[in-house]
């Protein structure tokens, strides 16, 4: 007899147990009534959202989650509901999956493999489970696993020995570029070894710096993907388990890499604004490529009516910058303000002149320009309840080419994990959908416009060199010698990585942004600020 299994790829709200409870009940009832599902499977820690972080230390939070499970069980009779919930047992907390049937908890499974690397800290919260959990539906034995469990060999084979006919896995697996292929490959390999089909349900949505891309899937006993849900959106569909295998034919296409990154950034902005209750977003629009991209992303995420741009020219701003900025606001149909910054910059210069009388101009004066803009943008943000988006990219964040409390002021930094060359690719991708970013913004040389005729490449290696060095140093932990061995000059490598080493203090005060790489600045990369490590030490030794 066919078992109809619904994959409930939902977007929960971390911490908002009441809202998640309602979403789970509605989704389960739809699966039962509209899709005739026998079982509905939700993502990892469904009830709390993932990752709940230190909320897990609050007893009242855990109790609220336990109560929600009871209410869900009572409200979803007639379908088996498989969901994730923290489970307190004495002094220990487990990352568990519950099977709800007939108004009761039928069985519980405790996650065995707790990830404690990258963005994950699960040993901080949870104790390891050590038992298999099978439950019977229409005479078939279904097995439970949670996320990391199936990235390690062994468990699926153990379940097979125990008589499992199908594996269900509840996940909160965050996106980075290429992750979907990695995820499916790992799972398909495990499945094809054991020959037991598998249903994989992932969370979708943005949560602070993490994006969950969904892309839930099902793998048949041969290790072939026979079902895939859409990426970056909520989804509820069924697969059929019959004749000892999974059958389905709805395979959503996988986005190309740049398109998937664009979608991830849009979802990140959307959910950060929505989940934090902001009434839209504002940003400073300079006429440069970074703010041009962020504006397009914001409008795609929030709609033109909910986004506002502010042009804040100085004496160093070229006319074409203002012109291009205005052109983009017109193409996108958004409201904008122009506020020249000279009055504030002059006021500060005069106020400081008695103290600075004997000193030369340096980056201090450039920073005053950037910070005057920061004050203006924050005033507009405060007055209107709109989230201020910063526009710095990953290349800038890496080398500290940004002003704290200036262009770094803001609540969310959408492209802080996007290297400069990828900023261009994303801009071109967006224009391929419909042209909104003026072409001159893409073709002119990048400049901070904080001094006369300034361009980025005066003080930095070309971005084609810089971005590659940064990726090897930051994402791959390669050392300076290994990087130079890839064909980069000692001077460029030394310049780039010494700037990375010295600018941790700036990154630590930057707002969160969307993680799209395998190592973003944030919970993914935990470096000391006071640090005597110099990545250049191998170069120095060689000279």
Binding residues for a second copy restricted to 320-339, rule: CB under 8 A:
337, 339
User: Is 116 an interacting residue with respect to a second copy (CB under 8 A)?
Assistant: yes
Tell the smallest beta-carbon distance from residue 349 to a second copy (Å): 9
Catalytically annotated residue among 87, 147, 188, 261: 147
User: Is 344 an interacting residue with respect to a second copy (CB under 8 A)?
Assistant: yes
Judged by DSSP in three states, 336 sits in strand
Nearest to 168 by CA among 21, 6, 52: 6
Instruction: Quickly tell me which residue has 């405060």 as its tokens.
Output: 382
Q: By CB under 8 A, which span of 87-95, 105-113, 257-265, 504-512 interacts with a second copy? A: 504-512
Q: 186 or 351, CB closer to a second copy?
A: 351
Catalytically annotated residue among 87, 111, 209, 386: 111
- Of the residues 382, 439, 459, 489, which one makes contact with a second copy according to CB under 8 A: 382
Binding string to a second copy for residues 64 to 103, with x set by CB under 8 A, is what? x---------------------------------------
Q: By CB under 8 A, which span of 242-250, 258-266, 287-295, 346-354 interacts with a second copy? A: 346-354
Query: Which residue(s) pair with 134 in the sheet?
Result: 143
Tell the smallest beta-carbon distance from residue 435 to a second copy (Å): 29
User: Is 438 an interacting residue with respect to a second copy (CB under 8 A)?
Assistant: no
End-to-end CA distance of the chain: 74
- Of the residues 253, 350, 464, 543, which one makes contact with a second copy according to CB under 8 A: 350
Tell the smallest beta-carbon distance from residue 24 to a second copy (Å): 14
DSSP strand pairing (281-284 vs 307-311): parallel
- Of the residues 91, 249, 443, 526, which one makes contact with a second copy according to CB under 8 A: 526
- Of the residues 70, 158, 182, 346, which one makes contact with a second copy according to CB under 8 A: 346
- Of the residues 34, 162, 186, 347, which one makes contact with a second copy according to CB under 8 A: 347
* Site residues (CB under 8 A) for a second copy, limited to 6-45: 13-19
User: Is 2 an interacting residue with respect to a second copy (CB under 8 A)?
Assistant: no
DSSP strand pairing (245-247 vs 235-242): antiparallel
Burial of 277 (0-12, 13-18, 19+ CB in 10 A): exposed
Reply yes or no on whether 138 is catalytic: no
User: Is 127 an interacting residue with respect to a second copy (CB under 8 A)?
Assistant: no
Judged by DSSP in three states, 246 sits in strand
Tell the smallest beta-carbon distance from residue 416 to a second copy (Å): 13
Q: Which residues of 325-346 are buried (b: 16+ CB within 10 A; e: fewer)?
A: bbbbbebbebebeebebeebbe
- Of the residues 90, 253, 319, 533, which one makes contact with a second copy according to CB under 8 A: 533
Q: Are 80 and 101 in contact (CB under 8 A)?
A: yes
And the tokens for 352? 């400081």
Q: Which residues of 175-202 are buried (b: 16+ CB within 10 A; e: fewer)?
A: bbbebbeebbeebbebbeebebbbbbbb
User: Is 52 an interacting residue with respect to a second copy (CB under 8 A)?
Assistant: yes
- Of the residues 74, 189, 356, 439, which one makes contact with a second copy according to CB under 8 A: 356
Q: Are 92 and 55 in contact (CB under 8 A)?
A: no
Q: By CB under 8 A, which span of 149-157, 437-445, 461-469, 532-540 interacts with a second copy? A: 532-540
* Site residues (CB under 8 A) for a second copy, limited to 458-497: 477, 479-481
Query: Which residue(s) pair with 7 in the sheet?
Result: 41, 237
354's enclosing H/E stretch is helix 342-356
User: Is 357 an interacting residue with respect to a second copy (CB under 8 A)?
Assistant: no
Q: What does the alpha-carbon distance between residue 27 and residue 43 come to, in Å, rounded to a whole number? A: 12
Q: What does the alpha-carbon distance between residue 489 and residue 468 come to, in Å, rounded to a whole number? A: 12
Reply yes or no on whether 29 is catalytic: no
Tell the smallest beta-carbon distance from residue 494 to a second copy (Å): 14
**419 DSSP 8-state letter:** -
Q: 125 or 135, CB closer to a second copy?
A: 125
How far is CA 450 from its chain centroid?
31
User: Is 153 an interacting residue with respect to a second copy (CB under 8 A)?
Assistant: no
Tell the smallest beta-carbon distance from residue 504 to a second copy (Å): 10
And the tokens for 219? 């793998």
Q: Are 187 and 150 in contact (CB under 8 A)?
A: yes
Reply yes or no on whether 111 is catalytic: yes
User: Is 380 an interacting residue with respect to a second copy (CB under 8 A)?
Assistant: yes
Q: 51 or 446, CB closer to a second copy?
A: 51
CA distances from residue 518 to 117, 135, 413, 423, 514 in whole angstroms, order as listed: 12, 36, 17, 17, 12
User: Is 532 an interacting residue with respect to a second copy (CB under 8 A)?
Assistant: yes
Burial of 59 (0-12, 13-18, 19+ CB in 10 A): exposed
Helix 342-356 crosses helix 363-384 at what angle (to 10 degrees)?
140
Sequence-distant (≥ 6) Cβ neighbours of residue 196 within 8 angstroms: 143, 156, 159, 160, 164, 165, 166, 167, 221
Q: By CB under 8 A, which span of 74-82, 89-97, 228-236, 357-365 interacts with a second copy? A: 357-365
Q: 70 or 242, CB closer to a second copy?
A: 70
Q: 217 or 278, CB closer to a second copy?
A: 278
Binding string to a second copy for residues 256 to 295, with x set by CB under 8 A, is what? ---------------xx--xx-------------------
- Of the residues 92, 182, 185, 364, which one makes contact with a second copy according to CB under 8 A: 364
Q: 24 or 219, CB closer to a second copy?
A: 24
Helical H segments across 485-534, by residue range: 490-502, 504-508
Q: What does the alpha-carbon distance between residue 140 and residue 530 come to, in Å, rounded to a whole number? A: 58
* Site residues (CB under 8 A) for a second copy, limited to 393-412: 404-405, 409, 411
Q: Annotated catalytic sites, by residue?
A: 44, 111, 147
């Amino acid at each position: 007899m066919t078992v109809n299994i619904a994959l409930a790829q939902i977007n929960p709200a971390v911490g908002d147990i009441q809202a998640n409870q309602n979403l789970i009940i509605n989704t389960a009832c739809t699966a039962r009534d509209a899709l005739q599902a026998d079982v509905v499977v939700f993502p990892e820690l469904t009830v709390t959202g993932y990752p709940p972080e230190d909320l897990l230390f609050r007893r009242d939070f855990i109790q609220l989650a336990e109560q929600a499970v009871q209410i869900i069980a009572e409200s979803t009779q007639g379908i088996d509901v498989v969901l994730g919930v923290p489970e307190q047992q004495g002094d220990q907390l487990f990352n568990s999956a519950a099977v709800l049937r007939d108004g009761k908890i039928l069985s519980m499974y405790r996650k065995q493999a707790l990830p404690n690397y990258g963005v994950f800290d699960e040993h901080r919260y949870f104790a390891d489970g050590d038992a298999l959990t099978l439950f019977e539906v229409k005479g078939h034995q279904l097995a439970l696993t949670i996320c990391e469990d199936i990235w390690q060999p062994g468990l699926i084979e153990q379940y097979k020995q125990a008589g499992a006919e199908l594996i269900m896995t509840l996940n909160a697996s965050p996106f980075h570029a290429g992750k979907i292929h990695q995820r499916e490959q790992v799972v398909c390999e495990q499945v094809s070894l054991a020959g037991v089909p598998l249903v994989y349900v992932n969370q979708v949505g943005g949560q602070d710096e993490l994006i969950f891309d969904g892309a839930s899937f099902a793998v048949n006993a041969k290790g072939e993907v026979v079902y895939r849900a859409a990426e970056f959106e909520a989804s509820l569909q069924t697969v059929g388990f019959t004749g000892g295998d999974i059958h389905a034919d709805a395979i959503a296409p996988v986005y190309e890499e740049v398109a998937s990154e664009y979608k991830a950034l849009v979802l990140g902005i959307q959910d950060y604004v929505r989940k934090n209750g902001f009434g839209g977003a504002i940003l400073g629009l300079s006429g440069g490529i970074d703010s041009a991209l962020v504006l397009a992303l914001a409008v795609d995420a929030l709609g033109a009516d909910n986004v506002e741009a502010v042009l804040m020219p100085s004496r160093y701003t070229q006319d074409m910058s203002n012109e291009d900025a205005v052109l983009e606001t017109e193409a996108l149909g958004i409201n904008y303000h122009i506020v020249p910054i000279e009055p504030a910059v002059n006021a500060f210069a005069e106020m400081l002149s008695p103290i600075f009388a004997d000193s030369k101009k340096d980056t201090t004066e450039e920073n005053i320009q950037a910070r005057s803009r920061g004050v203006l943008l924050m005033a507009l943000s405060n007055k209107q309840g709109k989230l201020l988006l910063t526009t710095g990219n990953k290349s800038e964040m890496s080398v500290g080419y940004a002003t704290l409390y200036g262009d770094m002021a803001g609540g969310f930094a959408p492209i802080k994990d996007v290297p400069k060359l990828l900023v261009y690719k994303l801009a071109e991708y967006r224009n391929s959908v419909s042209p909104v970013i003026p072409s001159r913004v893409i073709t002119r040389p990048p400049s901070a416009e904080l001094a006369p005729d300034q361009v980025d490449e005066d003080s930095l290696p070309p971005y084609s060199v810089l971005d590659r060095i940064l990726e090897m140093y930051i994402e791959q932990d390669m050392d300076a010698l290994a990087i130079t061995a890839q064909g980069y000059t000692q001077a460029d490598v030394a310049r780039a990585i010494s700037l990375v080493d010295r600018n941790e203090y700036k990154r630590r005060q930057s707002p969160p942004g969307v993680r799209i790489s395998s190592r973003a600045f944030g919970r993914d990369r935990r470096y000391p600020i006071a640090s005597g490590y110099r990545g250049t030490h191998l170069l120095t030794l060689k000279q």
